[in-house]
Structure 1
Amino acid sequence: MWPLSRPLHSRLAWLSLGVVALAWALGEWVAERTPLTLLLAYVPPLVWLFPALLALVWTLYGRLRGRRRGVGLALLALGLALRGAGLLHWRPQGDGELRVLTYNVARGTLGRPEQILKTLKAADADVILLQETNFIPAGYGDRLRRGLAGYDLRRGHEVWTLSRLPVVGERQILLPGSRRVLLETELRRPDGTRLTVINAHLHTVLVSSALRGRWDEVRTTARARTWEVAELCRLATEAAGPVLLGGDLNTPPRGLLYRRLTRCIGPDAHDVVGRGPAWTFPSLYLRIDHQMARGLTPRHAEVRPTPGSDHLPLLVGYH
């Protein structure tokens, strides 16, 4: 019950806790079911820190004035907001002999090929998954390819998969309503086992469409993403052995579609062995690039702060 007779600072603490919990629950459990809650799932988690911090400061001020109520609630709200923002995420890490890097390179519009190559070579990855490889600058892709000797390159419309492991199979699944594809490659590991790798760049939920009142565009994109996730789950189900999904999934780590992917493919590597918020899209403080695997054990996950794109690369080591 909301007792109006309580001091303002105590009511503010309750309000802060309620706002943080309700907003997070709607974005997590309702999410893609309605356009509004879909957008709520994309709100940067740092936003929820502001009401929690405000309530804590106000209740501490009240405590100085002899009013003790509300501090515990404000601290609880702040703790939930910090956890939701990933700032309390800290997992033990080890070494993995299979290194996989995923990186959206923004069509080569934000960095020189030499910058991207430096990042890729420093990662020393066995498998590299690139998105937005429909490069705009002339010759950009060719310069990247020449700099990555030793990798077998497989291309989709705007995705590249490069592997130092032998490629024994490949197929492309066209995504409806676009030229995007899901690029599936089958690799042979040194022990002779097969690994299915899926490189994906899913459709983007454009908040700008909602701000302009174009709700039909938001609904169309939401339907496309539902189909794409269903197709990814189908591919994972068909694969006989270990499966790895990586790429720019344009999906924060919450909501119905994200949970469906983790159920049908496997856990998010960052959730298992990552540290900190790992914002792969730092301008909005969001983590939307992921790696998920079945039949592989993640041992190390890190986001590398490098120039050359509006995304940051995610490197994962697996056992």
Structure 2
Amino acid sequence: MAQVDTAEAEQGDAGHRETGSGRAGVRRMIGRPEPWRRGLVLAALALLLGLVMLLHAEIPNRIGNLGSLVETFLPWFGLFVPVLLAGALWRRSASAVVALVLPVVAWLSLFGGLLTDKSHSGADLTVVSHNVGADNPDPAGTARDLVAAKADVLALEELTQRDQGTYEKALAKAYPYHAVQGTVGVWSKLPLSDTRPVDIETDYGPLAKTKPEAVKLVYSRALRTTVATKRGPLAVYVAHLGSARVNPRGGFATTSRDRNAQALGRAVAAEPNKRMVLLGDLNGTTDDRVFDGLTSRLRSAQVAAGDGFGFSWPAQFPMVRIDQILVRGVKPESSWVLPATGSDHRPVAAGIGW
């Protein structure tokens, strides 16, 4: 009987030990969160990042043009992914790592196509667009750089009356045909015709109603011309839209740019020529909703046939592509960014084919 009692006592002690160890395990689980319970804040931030990229079009512009500001720098939101991943690995958080799948998929769906080289050879026509910069210290050198690009059609924006003669002289030999309207111009190796200014409702200031047309023309920021190619006429638009500024008080200030974009969209919609190219400094990216009137009718040469993002501004460390080449009725074969000149923008180029 003593042996039986001893055995039962030992079993009871073992049961108590098992129960005690189980309770200790529960306490450890509560006191030390497992990987799925760690880093919940990181997981929430990862989900928020993915939703911002997926639903960027739903971000309202009513407060400081926040939606347009987000869309302008949207590609850079991908940089938050490795930061959050590092935090998730440091915290050993499985939930945060899994949550990062959403922003990764969102970013790749938006910009994954820009990671590959989509260029092809065999372009019929090469076009270049460049905001030469009103404060360019070396317009003659910029002109030489542009001639070296060997484009068939060259569009210049932000021309000043002071520098216009310099560009005309430096480009005359390579480009026998040219036209200037206000602060924008086009130089071509092929004949031009039907050149005229395009009214994009530029803000001429408080005296706009009293200024004569000749004075307004000096400040014209868009033109339309026809280039005679071997494949038929090609309508070419050159535009420099109003500026965009980030203001701590007013947010993303784009009033004149947005008004210009809407007017330019109406002009493009009314263009009778099925084949056209729009070249210019639009002061915004094609992801920005304000350009829907243009991007719904025109294709971006960079998106269709570029290699990378094609950032063009600022010249020393490009962060956004605000200089655009958009086409309709012709096929982008290649798109690239040229080296920096004396301007604060880099020139952008594209090869197009029929």
Q: TM-score, normalised by structure 1?
A: 0.83
Q: Deviations over 1:219-256 (max 9, x none)?
A: xx43x434323322332233222111110001112122
Contact 2:132 2:139 in 1 (8 A): no
Give runs of aligned pairs for residues 23-42 of structure 1, distance below 5 A.
25-26=55-56, 28-30=57-59, 32=61, 34=63, 35-42=65-72
Q: Which secondary structure state, in structure 2, belongs to the residue aligned with residue 116 of structure 1?
A: helix
Task: Give the counterpart of 1:243 among 263, 276, 296.
Answer: 276
Q: Does 1:189 align with 2:224?
A: no
* Matching residue of 2:192: 167
Q: Which runs of 5+ in 1 are unaligned?
A: none
Q: Which has the higher contact order (CA 8 A, sep 6+)?
A: 1
Contact 2:54 2:106 in 1 (8 A): no
Contact 1:129 1:199 in 2 (8 A): yes
Kindly provide the amino acid, as one letter, of the partner of residue 294 in structure 1.
Answer: R
Q: TM-score, normalised by structure 2?
A: 0.75
Give runs of aligned pairs for residues 99-248 of structure 1, distance below 5 A.
99-107=126-134, 109-134=135-160, 138=162, 140-148=163-171, 149=173, 150-174=175-199, 175-178=201-204, 179-191=219-231, 193-208=232-247, 211=248, 213-214=249-250, 218=253, 221-222=254-255, 224-241=256-273, 242-248=275-281
Counterpart-to-counterpart distance in 1, 2:283 and 2:311? 12
Counterpart-to-counterpart distance in 1, 2:105 and 2:141? 38
Contact 2:129 2:347 in 1 (8 A): yes
Q: Does 1:301 align with 2:335?
A: yes
Give runs of aligned pairs for residues 307-318 of structure 1, distance below 5 A.
307-318=341-352
Q: Which secondary structure state, in structure 1, belongs to the residue aligned with residue 299 of structure 2?
A: coil
Counterpart-to-counterpart distance in 2, 1:14 and 1:302? 38
Give runs of aligned pairs for residues 60-71 of structure 1, distance below 5 A.
60-63=89-92, 67-71=93-97
- State the Cα RMSD in Å: 2.7
Q: Would you say how many aligned residue pairs link Structure 1 and Structure 2?
A: 298
**Aligned-pair identity (%):** 24
* Matching residue of 1:257: 290
Kindly provide the amino acid, as one letter, of the partner of residue 73 in structure 1.
Answer: A
Counterpart-to-counterpart distance in 1, 2:289 and 2:311? 20
Q: State the shift of 1:190 in Å.
A: 1.9
Q: Which secondary structure state, in structure 2, belongs to the residue aligned with residue 300 of structure 1?
A: strand
Counterpart-to-counterpart distance in 2, 1:145 and 1:113? 11
* Matching residue of 1:57: 86
Q: State the shift of 1:144 in Å.
A: 2.1
Contact 2:224 2:238 in 1 (8 A): yes
* Structure of higher CA gyration radius: 2
Q: Which runs of 5+ in 2 are unaligned?
A: 1-32, 205-218
Q: Which secondary structure state, in structure 2, belongs to the residue aligned with residue 40 of structure 1?
A: helix
Contact 2:286 2:295 in 1 (8 A): no
Q: State the shift of 1:72 in Å.
A: 3.2
Aligned CA distance change for structure 1 residues 196 and 314 (closer, same or farther; 3 Å): same
Q: Deviations over 1:175-225 (max 9, x none)?
A: 33133332111121123x2111110001122113xx1x246x93xx43x43
Kindly provide the amino acid, as one letter, of the partner of residue 229 in structure 2.
Answer: R
Q: Does 1:93 align with 2:114?
A: no
